[in-house]
């Protein structure tokens, strides 16, 4: 063993690992909420089958595969086949829950999702890990455009849940909806936040999690978690931040968005873990413009560029979607 | 175990005999296709003519279905992967009584149930939306798995074209169908050696196709797809084959089959047929019928 020659401790190198935890240190989490919720649901719904393209273990579908090995289909590393076969299963009355990474479902298999699933309105549920910037592995695995692609597709319902509490409710809601659904999946040890907000997921509904007089943050996915933290911090500075959580990107709850954004005197900030092109920000902007509501409007989101590889906290700071960066941006805009 | 088609048996067929009644069905499918082509003045007529014999055997010998109930649970599923062959399938669906004959004249028109590219939401008996190529075999794998989950005795048939062999998804599906031992899947590939940019074998070499498919774990037969007796025999063998393997029938066909002056056209992926030629084509088809 080496002697204590180096007295100054080297800082631990940060990782650009493909799968980095999105939970902060010490944050409450729940393991594999999607996998466990699906197992629960499958008890009541014998038509549910699980299908994946060599990513069962990395999408929490292995929990389902262990519980229901005869209802699990490994399709190999072949996302086009995965989507086509899921369409065929749905054609025969099954309800496939399909998992892969968001980049592969949205980019690689887009035509198959579009033509074999959405165009035929097949009852296929697509749950995709590593949404937005939740991998430091570089553009191959960073799904900065998945919401833009999926919301552009007719018939597709698009959901971006915030935490484990929400995912557990989204899974049965996906099954209750007849037709294709795309869900951004948080996997592994998933933060638990919304259980403290008397929150219930409803498909197509935005929910005001907290009110505030100065800023309205409209957010989805992990950005809602951050927005709640920002709101707590700015409360100390006597800045009132309201947080409107919009887990269903499509269909968008335009009524609630117009009502909350129409309250005068509040700056509207849309925060999303997605490129600022074609995601929640532009969806909300279009809603406001069409609705004749014109608040001061700001966007927090990923830039229109190929993102760097690196450690997630570093990248979230760099691209302005960490809690610190978000708080600084909002303060600067006030 | 061979099912008999639960359709009008006025033109009954005898397996493995000299299939005159099936030839008559094929003639009428070709005629329907030419009449539809005339409505629009264009269409994938060469393909419709080349695949008519396979469609005649599919709908009047091999498959079970109920014309009055296209969603009958126990039907065999027929997936048209090459959506641009829709004119051929409509011609067969009309002949089978699934689509009313009077809709023939609406082909490709506004509000028609018979759009120029085949789509499931439009047409009774159309099980998938094609158009984008290389989709059908993947869907067929899912249907094959789904039928097995339901312990259904139904089969899934899939027609695709040699050009679709360029698509990687077709090979993904070929691999998975063997992996899952889908003995309820019968795929038919139409090898007419014509795709958009020229002869399929020159656009992207795919031979030796039988060797490749056998190496992938399929039960494979290669026939001349315009020899009615051979087509019947291949479908029978595909249905009765004892091994737990998916089945492929490689059909070499002749573009424009049945209309000699169209067979002779050099560029016949999308045949240009002048207005006066439709009647000539029908006449030529009739001449062949009585020959």
- pLDDT digits over A291-301, tens only? 999 999 999 99
With a CB cutoff of 8 Å and minimum separation 6, the contacts of B34 are B45, B259, B278, B281, B282, B285
A23 touches A190 (CB < 8 A): yes
> Chain B interface residues facing chain A, Cβ-Cβ under 8 Å?
77, 119-121, 127-129, 131-132, 134-135, 137-147, 149-150, 152, 156, 168-169, 172-173, 175-176, 179
> Distance, in angstroms, between B131 CA and closest chain A CA?
9
Residues B149-174: tens digit of each pLDDT? 999 999 999 999 999 999 999 999 99
Confidence of residue B212 (pLDDT cuts 50, 70, 90): very high
- Tell me the nearest-neighbour CA distance from A111 into chain B, angstroms: 8
Hey, of B74, B123, B133, B142, which one would you mutate to test binding to chain A, going by the most A CBs within 10 A of its CB?
B142
Residue carrying the six token digits 């070709």? B30
Determine the Cα–Cα distance for residues A126 and A143; give it in Å rounded to an integer: 15
Nearest CA in chain B to A118: B129
Contacts of B83 in chain A (CB under 8 A): none
**Between chains, do B146 and A89 touch, taking CB under 8 Å as contact?**
yes
Q: What are A195-241's pLDDT values in tens digits?
A: 999 999 999 999 999 999 999 999 999 999 999 999 999 999 999 99
pLDDT range class, residue B9, cuts 50, 70, 90: very low
List the single residue in B with minimal CA-CA distance to A70.
B149
Nearest CA of chain B to the CA of A177: how many Å? 20
**Residue B8 binned pLDDT confidence (cut-offs 50, 70, 90):** very low
**Residue B255: CB partners within 8 Å, gap ≥ 6?**
B46, B47, B49, B50, B192, B194, B262, B263, B265, B268
What integer pLDDT is reported at residue B20 of this predicted model? 76
Q: Which residues in A lie closer than 8 A to residue B137 (C-beta atoms)?
A: 84
Return the residue in A68, A74, A77, A85 with the most chain B beta carbons within 10 A, the one to mutate for interface testing: A85
For residue B129, the chain A residues in CB contact (below 8 A) are: 115-116, 119-120
Each residue's pLDDT tens digit, A230-286: 999 999 999 999 999 999 999 999 999 999 999 989 999 999 999 999 999 999 999
Count other Cβ atoms within 10 Å, centred on residue A153. Answer: 18
Query: Does residue B14 register a pLDDT over 60?
Result: no
Tell me the residues of A at the B interface, defined by beta carbons under 8 Å apart.
49, 73, 75-76, 78, 80-81, 83-94, 96, 111-112, 115-116, 119-121
Q: Indicate the residue of A81, A112, A115 with minimum beta-carbon distance to B141.
A: A81
Compute the residue count for chain A: 334
Between B11 and A40, whose confidence is greater? Answer: A40
Task: Return the bridge partners of A183, or none.
Answer: A127, A159
CA A121 to CA B141: how far, in whole Å? Answer: 18
Q: Which of B138, B176, B177 to mutate against chain A (most A CBs within 10 Å)?
A: B138
Average pLDDT over residues B107-129: 95
What's the alpha-carbon Rg for chain B, to the nearest Å? Answer: 18
Task: List CB contacts (< 8 A) between A49 and chain B.
Answer: 149
Place A22 in a pLDDT band, splitting at 50, 70 and 90: confident
- Check whether A17 has a pLDDT greater than 70: yes
In chain B, residues with a C-beta closer than 8 Å to the C-beta of A88 are 138-146, 156
Please give the residue of chain B at the shortest CA–CA distance from A91: B143
A93: which residues sit within 8 A by CB, 6+ positions away? A47, B146, B150
Share of chain A above pLDDT 90, in %: 92
Q: Which residues pair with B249 in a beta bridge?
A: B188, B221
Percent of chain B past pLDDT 90, that is, above it, reads 83
For residue B10, the model assigns a pLDDT of: 45
CB contact under 8 A, B139 and A81: no
Cis peptide, bond prior to residue A251, ω within 30 of zero: yes
pLDDT at B291 over 80: no
> With pLDDT > 70 as the criterion, what percentage of chain B qualifies?
92
For chain A, the average pLDDT equals: 95
The per-residue pLDDT of chain B, averaged, comes to 92
- β-strand partners of A166: none
Higher per-residue pLDDT: A1 or A27:
A27
Q: In percent, how much of chain A has pLDDT > 70?
A: 96
Nearest-CA distance B175 → chain A (Å): 10
Cis peptide before B208, with omega less than 30 degrees from 0? Answer: yes
Residue B54 confidence (pLDDT) above 80: yes
| pLDDT tens figures, B249-288 | 999 999 999 999 999 887 667 777 888 999 999 999 999 8
Substitution target in B82, B139, B182 with the highest count of A β-carbons within 10 Å is B139
Mean pLDDT computed over A293-311 = 97
């Amino acid at each position: 063993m080496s002697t204590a020659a180096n007295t100054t401790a080297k800082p631990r190198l940060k990782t650009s690992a493909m799968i980095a935890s999105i939970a902060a240190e010490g944050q409450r989490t729940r393991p594999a909420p999607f996998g466990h919720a699906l197992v629960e649901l499958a008890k009541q719904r014998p038509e549910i089958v699980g299908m994946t393209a060599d990513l069962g273990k990395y999408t929490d579908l292995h929990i389902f595969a262990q519980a229901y090995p005869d209802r699990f289909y490994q399709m190999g590393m072949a996302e086009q086949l995965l989507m086509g076969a899921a369409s065929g299963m749905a054609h025969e009355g099954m309800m496939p829950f399909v998992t892969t990474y968001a980049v592969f479902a949205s980019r690689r298999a887009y035509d198959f999702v579009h033509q074999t699933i959405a165009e035929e309105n097949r009852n296929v549920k697509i749950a995709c890990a590593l949404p937005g910037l939740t991998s430091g592995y570089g553009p191959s695995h960073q799904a900065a455009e998945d919401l833009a692609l999926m919301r552009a597709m007719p018939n597709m319902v698009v959901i971006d849940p915030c935490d484990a509490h929400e995912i557990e409710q989204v899974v049965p809601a996906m099954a209750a909806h007849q037709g294709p659904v795309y869900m951004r999946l948080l996997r592994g040890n998933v933060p638990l936040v919304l259980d403290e907000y008397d929150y219930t997921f409803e498909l197509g509904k935005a929910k005001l999690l907290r009110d505030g007089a100065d800023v309205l943050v409209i957010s989805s996915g992990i950005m809602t978690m951050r927005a709640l933290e920002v709101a707590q911090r700015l409360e100390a500075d006597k800045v009132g931040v309201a947080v409107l959580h919009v887990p269903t990107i499509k269909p968008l709850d335009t009524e609630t968005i117009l009502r909350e954004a129409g309250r005068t005197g509040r700056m509207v900030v849309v925060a999303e873990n997605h490129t600022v092109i074609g995601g929640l920000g532009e969806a909300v902007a279009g809603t406001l413009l069409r609705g004749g509501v014109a608040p001061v409007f700001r966007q927090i989101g990923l830039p229109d560029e190929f993102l760097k590889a690196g450690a997630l906290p570093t990248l979230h700071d760099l691209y302005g979607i960490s809690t610190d960066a978000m708080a600084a941006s909002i303060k600067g805009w006030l | 175990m061979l099912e008999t088609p639960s359709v009008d048996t006025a033109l009954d067929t005898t397996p493995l005999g000299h299939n005159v009644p099936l030839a008559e069905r094929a003639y009428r499918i070709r005629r329907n296709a030419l009449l539809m082509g005339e409505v629009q003045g264009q269409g994938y007529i060469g393909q419709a003519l080349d695949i008519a014999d396979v469609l005649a055997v599919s709908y009047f010998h091999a498959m079970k279905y109920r014309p009055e109930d296209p969603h009958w649970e126990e039907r065999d599923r027929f997936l048209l992967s090459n959506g641009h062959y829709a004119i051929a399938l409509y011609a067969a669906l009309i002949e089978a009584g699934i689509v009313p004959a009077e809709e023939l004249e609406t082909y490709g028109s506004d509000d028609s149930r018979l759009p120029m590219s085949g789509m499931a939401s439009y047409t009774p008996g159309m099980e998938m939306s094609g158009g984008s190529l290389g989709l059908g075999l993947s869907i067929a794998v899912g249907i094959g798995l789904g039928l097995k989950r339901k312990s259904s005795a139904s089969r899934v048939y899939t027609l695709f074209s040699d050009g679709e062999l360029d698509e990687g998804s077709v090979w993904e599906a070929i691999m998975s169908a063997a992996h899952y031992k889908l003995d309820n899947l019968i795929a038919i590939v139409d090898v007419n050696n014509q795709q958009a940019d020229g002869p399929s074998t020159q656009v992207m070499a795919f031979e030796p196709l039988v060797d490749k498919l056998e190496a992938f774990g399929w039960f494979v037969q290669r026939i001349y797809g315009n020899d009615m007796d051979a087509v019947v025999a291949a479908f029978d063998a595909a249905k009765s084959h004892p091994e737990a393997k998916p089945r492929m029938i490689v059909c070499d066909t002749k573009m424009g089959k049945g209309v000699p002056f169209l067979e002779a056209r050099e560029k016949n992926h999308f045949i240009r047929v002048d207005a006066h030629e439709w009647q000539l084509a029908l006449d030529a088809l009739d001449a062949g019928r009585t020959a």
